[in-house]
Amino acid sequence: MGQGTGANTEEAYSGGRQAELAAQRILGTSVDFEDAIAAAKKAAGKIPGVTGWNGYSEQHADSIRDVEDQCITIAGNTQSGAEEISLTDRESGGSSPPATSNSLVRSMSSSTDSQDQE
C-alpha cells in the first residue's frame, strides 16, 4: 500500500501570508525609484550635461514593477494553493481547517493593475 501525500494547509497559508506581507512592503518601490531618479536629475542640473536619466529610470522601474508583480503573484498562488488543498481535504472527509481567503492579495493585485493603466 502506498503512502499518502498531504500538506499542512495552516503552514502553507502562513507562508502565503508572509509572502503577502513582503509584497505589501515592496509595493511602491518602483515609484520611489522613479522619484529618486527625478530628484537626482534635477540636482545634477544641466551642467555638466549628464544624459540618460529617463532611459535608465524607465528600464529599471519596469524591472522593479516586475518584481512587485511577482511578489503579489507568489503570495496569491501560495494562499490559493492552501485554500484548494484545504477544500480538497474537506471534500474527501479530511479534517483540515479551511484556509483563510487571500482577499488582501486580490485587492493588492487590483491596485497594481489600476496603477499600470495610469
pLDDT in tens, 87-112: 888 888 755 555 555 555 555 555 55
Does residue 5 sit within a domain? no
Q: How many CA atoms lie within 13 A of 17 on its CB side?
A: 10
pTM value > 0.75: no
Does residue 22 sit within a domain? yes
Higher pLDDT, 49 or 19: 19
Domain range spanning residue 38?
10-48+59-117
Does residue 19 sit within a domain? yes
> How many domains are there within the chain?
1
By 3-state DSSP, what share of the chain in percent is helix, strand and coil, each rounded to 5? 75, 0, 25
Does residue 26 sit within a domain? yes
Q: Flag whether pLDDT at 65 surpasses 50.
A: yes
Give dist(CA 20, CA 74) in Å, integer.
8
Does residue 3 sit within a domain? no
Higher pLDDT, 71 or 49: 71
Handedness of CA 77, 79, 85, 90 (dihedral sign): negative
Return the pLDDT at 28.
93
Does residue 88 sit within a domain? yes
Does residue 90 sit within a domain? yes
Residue with cell 479530511: 94
Does residue 18 sit within a domain? yes
